[in-house]
A and B are shown apart, each in its own frame.
Chain A
């Protein structure tokens, strides 16, 4: 075999490892059988079961609420951080903002848990999860926004001031529209990161609150039912759509910034 067919086979294998399990989950979510064993026939029954599962719905609503709120807050803070890092070139801020991105999730989860309980004396629940998610999303937004700014001609912003715009008008009319794609990409990334986060949520969740990933986990402890396949398929669909939209907004900046 020559070099290029070697590369082809290896990539095919890698992609198979990545995608075959996912495809199986999707396929079995439509399988008319309680068991993930053999294909019996097509059904939408499991989706019907899913939408009648009150606990699941509550978890989904929680997940969406957390993802939207923490996504929005992280986007606002991350955008500011990205601009500040670009403009003032501070020494420490980039590390502080980006460390949560690189830090093992379990560490972040544990430290947040200790912080909430021992320092803030916070009752664990939705709020603690939202704060935790904001913490690890800010870095992603900051990275994308900064990357967008880095590719830009500095003199554009000076030109705006030079032509009579106040600093605020410059931000509103020039800076923000130009970093907008980065901001949207950052927001969408935050949303996907939040909605399927397991580890950090697991540490910062209180009793009585659940999110989709936690709910799925608690279900498969018993058995991988077709309902789990169905909810996973939907989650996958949501994540995939968001990522595709995000990559449309920031095709260059997203590369290398993904987890």
Chain B
């Protein structure tokens, strides 16, 4: 049985359907991520799980028991708020011991557990500090410690890294993964950052306008987005208008208007005449100087329009002669990568015939 079961949950605010018939099963021990653009209903869903808001339809079950009618304080679910929500009039120790006090634990047990969890988040020396004396990263860790200390069945984290700068955010991501593995508590993590979601999660639910577009492991979502929204939202991707010319059992023949014919991997349900897009990851696209390097792939001539060198990789933007524009991502460490292309260079753009994904409208 799933630890948390969200069954056809809907929440409306007037005419707006903030959460639209959402169903999710979250297993014990999972690092589950709700990913979606801001305003897509992530917080609304969390608030219903926490008990601050009630669904207009559907059920939320924990260990198979309907949570309707259970107030927030009675749910073994804790939340790490985006704003941290530390109690400003309590020290770090006061904040972290709060859930234990509410649970009626003995002072001895509280002392032991608080020390344990503060060690875990590397804040042992900050016990007597007040929240306003801490840096953003430290506050974040106090909020985490406070959420974990009483070992809830479920810890929900609402964009917890949103307020941190890039470097700290990366450090905290690594700490979060380690922490979740070590404590074994189920995490429901909310973010609008696809990179964060891919890096942290066991499973991701991609949300859009209150609905779940796709729910799967990060690599599946990245490699096999089910529709254009997911493809576009997760990672960088080339989206080319496309029409199916032939749907063979082992491949598709696709026409890209203004560009020509390409081959793409077969797709169930694809049929001749279907219109849609061909989604192509930049790292699947290569660029080369000469035609014979790429003869057996889908290939088109073009000119380098721009490039972005970021150390380990370079992203090239190539204008194809037929007017389309394609992004290609080349690792700078690739063997035989002697030549870097310059703006204006005439090149060939190519991708393997088994790369790309046809997504019908």
Residues of A within 8 A of B (CB): 153, 155-156, 158-166, 169, 173-174, 177-178
Contact = CB atoms under 8 A, between A and B. Distances in A.
Given A155-B81, A165-B102, A169-B102, A160 B71 contact: no
B98 A160 contact: yes
A153 B85 contact: yes
20 contacts: A155-B82, A155-B85, A156-B85, A156-B86, A158-B50, A159-B79, A159-B86, A160-B98, A162-B50, A162-B73, A162-B78, A163-B73, A163-B78, A163-B102, A164-B99, A164-B150, A165-B98, A166-B71, A177-B89, A178-B88
A160 B94 CA distance: 12
B322 to A, nearest CB: 53
Interface in B61-114: 71-73, 77-79, 81-83, 85-89, 98-99, 102-103
B72 A161 contact: yes
Given A162-B50, A163-B99, A164-B150, A153 B83 contact: yes
Q: Interface SS of chain B: helix, strand, loop or mixed?
A: loop
Contact of B85 (A158, A169, A177): A158
Contacts of B85: 153, 155-156, 158-159
A165 B51 CA distance: 13
Nearest to B102: A164
Contact of B73 (A153, A161, A173, A177): A161
Contact of A166 (B51, B73, B81, B88): B73
A66 B333 CA distance: 84
Contacts of A153: 83, 85
A82 B72 CA distance: 25
Contacts of A165: 73, 98, 102
A96 B150 CA distance: 44
Given A158-B72, A178-B88, A163 B81 contact: no
Contacts of A155: 81-83, 85
Closest 5 CB pairs of A and B: A164-B102, A159-B85, A163-B99, A155-B85, A161-B72
B146 interface: yes
